[in-house]
Chain A
Amino acid sequence: MKIESRIQGTRMVVQVNGRLDAAWADLLLGTVRDLVREGHHQVRLDASGLEYLSSAGIRSLLKIRRELEAVSGSFGIAPAAPFVQETLRMSGLEALLLVGEEMPADAAEPAAGDNADSGTETSAETVAKTGASPSAVRFEEHILDLLGAVTVTAHAGWRPWQQVLDGACLEVPLSRPRFGLGIGAAGRDAEDIRSRLGDFVAAAGSVAWLPSDGADRPDYLVQNERFLPQLNAIQSLVGEGKFSHLLRFSPAASNACVTLSDLYEQVLRTTRADAAALVCLAEVEGLVGASLARSPGCIQASDQPGEFPELREWLSFCGERVHHQSQVLVVAFFCRDPSHLLAAHLAPVPSRPGLLAHAHAVVLPFRPLPQGVLDLDASVATVFDDNTPLALLHLIDDDRPAVGLGESAFIRGACWCAPIHDLTHITT
């Protein structure tokens, strides 16, 4: 079999010649998935040169169709060799997979994503424009709510690397529309979770944390009608309110990507704020970060967890740029004013002097996102649906000369953001 792809107006045409059987079905699926990753959501299969179509081949076509529908894209076979039409008709899939005569693709076919914004903020006024684009990344700015802003509740029951005292723990509700990050775990009470406390991240009713009792995978909770997720936490930053903007970004040149601090700067510019918060779903270029390897709850008076080499027992560092092409959900709080009350909960970003931030990220297998304006709740739900978190990191800016891993960066994604208008400190 031979697979070739070409752009035709707004569509991506994949031409297959030869036999589409079990041996080739995966290759075709992989090829189309790569195209979807690159942002081609209107895909047509030119099957005029197809000589054979097995049921394995048909199954891969149905899979492609399903995956494209999930991102509000479209898929169909056109044109098809007569025997392909016949095969599909006999298996009752004609209507699903064959598209009839279409308008030439470059005539105004609705752009991808136009039908994706139904159900999102109805009050949203959508303005798209090309913003300043750091490192050849295209930013598309959508206003969701001109008055959108978030209130942050901060709780620091624990300061690294002291012992965790009685009463340091707080029950933190993390149901929609809250989002946040910190150190905690799910469990009955403070004692129950003492040995499992780990980094967490939460948004849109999904909560993931990395239990530090030797687990290699994050654990997670997802909100449903009767279940409202919450964690017991010794540190937390939780935002609540309405997002003012949605930034969509994608590479304008090959290999272009957006770093986390690019994103901070872009959000601060867009929201015209000194302090802001973001929730971002993106395809990963590379992540740099650390996570707790042992629970702070286990720190004894004689321990010095903050010092090398003892730090190795307590923190695990990624060691290289990780999770290329995976999906990530990032929650971050950041400001450029060291005297801001929030600054006490943030750390300097060494490669952007003046900027302070705190960001956690949970990594999942890649799921393509529809284009245009997206609803945060629905998007996060899609990403977590039938998908298991792979890793969870406290993101680090590694500016070590020569050997530094740099910052976390993303290829494309959606970033919901808002200025921070209010801050409450909870003391326990």
Chain B
Amino acid sequence: MLDLRHIHKTFFPGTPNEVQALCGIDLLIPEGTFAAIIGTNGSGKSTLLNAVAGAFDLDQGAIHIDGKNISAWPEYRRASLIGRVFQNPFAGTAAEMTLAENLALSMRRGCRRGLGLALHRSARTEIADRVRSLNLGLENRLDNPIGTLSGGQRQALTLLMATWLRPRLLLLDEHTAALDPKSAAQVAELTLTIIRREKLTALMVTHSMPQAVQLPDRIIMMHKGRVVRQYEGQEKSRVRVPDLLAAFDQVRRREQLDPAVAHLLHNQYA
């Protein structure tokens, strides 16, 4: 379970470059819920994920995972609870290392010492089994450098690594956005399979409205550092892409209602 209470973050406060990236985010994501975050560019989606992962200190607010207040934990310590996959397929893995070595690393996530890469036979068998479950034929390439894989294959592996130890929370930041449509669909499907199989609590940032409609249990819509709309339960199961677009439109229109328009409406909305 992820519990965000009144999160605020302003970058470059008090300078001309000041950006209020998060303005009072309150969110409760129950155990086993898969939530997608959608929103316009710069609405604070990545910043929110970074805040949870511990990339910077909050100005205000608290983050609880499974009831533990982790607001003061450093990023590496949070990594013992959180799995992450980024947009860039090259971000989560070390290109020169082999598939097996990369996966062995992820098995030790959250431990600060002992990066010995010697693999026991049993560990190797487990790695091969799990890689086989991806259905990408990669189990035969365990000793190849990961840099030789395609973007989609790398994202699939990164996903496997991020979920290897069943994290308490999985954070996905547009992890299919840099892939070709076919690979994106494959990785999206794999994401859903793993999240459901492991009953993970997950937050996925996506720009793909069809993905937001199809994959998660809940949709969180952000705009200018705020959560402006959520779809869950029945409403979520009914929502379609045009509804989301219309909702964005509504948010955009709301901003155009300035005092002059208010005056007009006041007079004419009789």
Interface residues of A (CB under 8 A from B): 160, 214, 216-217, 290, 293, 306-309, 311-312, 315-320, 345-348, 350, 358, 394, 396-400, 403
A347 touches B262 (CB 8 A): no
Chain B binding site: helix, strand, loop or mixed by DSSP?
A: helix
Partner of A346, one of B229, B259, B261, B270: B270
Number of contact residues on B: which range applies? Answer: 20 to 34
Whether B270 contacts A319 by the Cβ 8 Å rule is no
Q: Give min CB distance, B218 to chain A, whole Å.
A: 15
6 smallest CB-CB distances across A and B, nearest first, come from: A308-B262, A319-B256, A216-B246, A347-B270, A319-B253, A347-B268
Q: Are A319 and B252 in contact (CB under 8 A)?
A: yes
Residues of chain B touching chain A, judged by Cβ–Cβ distance below 8 Å, are 229, 243, 246-247, 250, 252-254, 256-270
Taken together as a complex, chains A and B put the C-alpha atoms of A307 and B260 apart, in Å, by 11
Q: How far is the CB of A197 from chain B (nearest CB, A)?
A: 14
* Residue of B247, B250, B253, B270 touching A160 (CB-CB under 8 A): B270
A306 CA to B259 CA, complexed, in Å: 11
B265 touches A396 (CB 8 A): yes
| A–B pairs, 11, beta carbons within 8 Å | A290-B265, A308-B262, A311-B257, A315-B257, A315-B269, A317-B265, A318-B253, A396-B269, A397-B268, A400-B261, A403-B260
**Could you tell me the dominant secondary structure of chain A's interface residues?**
loop
Q: Which residue on B lies nearest to A348, using beta carbons?
A: B267
Residues from chain B with a CB closer than 8 A to the CB of A290 are 265, 269
CA distance A17 to B253 in the complex (A): 46
Contact A312 B265 (CB under 8 A): no
State in angstroms the CA–CA spacing of A397 and B257 once bound together. 15
Known pairs A312-B254, A348-B267, A396-B268; A317 contacts B261 (CB<8 A): yes
Residues of B contacting A306 in the complex (Cβ-Cβ under 8 angstroms): 266
Select which of A160, A311, A320, A394 is within 8 A of B262 by beta carbon: A311
Please pick, from A317, A394, A403, the residue contacting B257 in the complex, using a CB distance under 8 A.
Answer: A317
Known: A319-B252, A319-B256, A403-B260. 14 other contacts (CB 8 A): A216-B246, A217-B243, A217-B246, A308-B263, A309-B262, A312-B254, A315-B269, A316-B254, A320-B256, A346-B270, A394-B268, A394-B269, A396-B264, A398-B264
**Residues of the B chain whose Cβ atoms lie less than 8 Å from the Cβ of A399:** 264
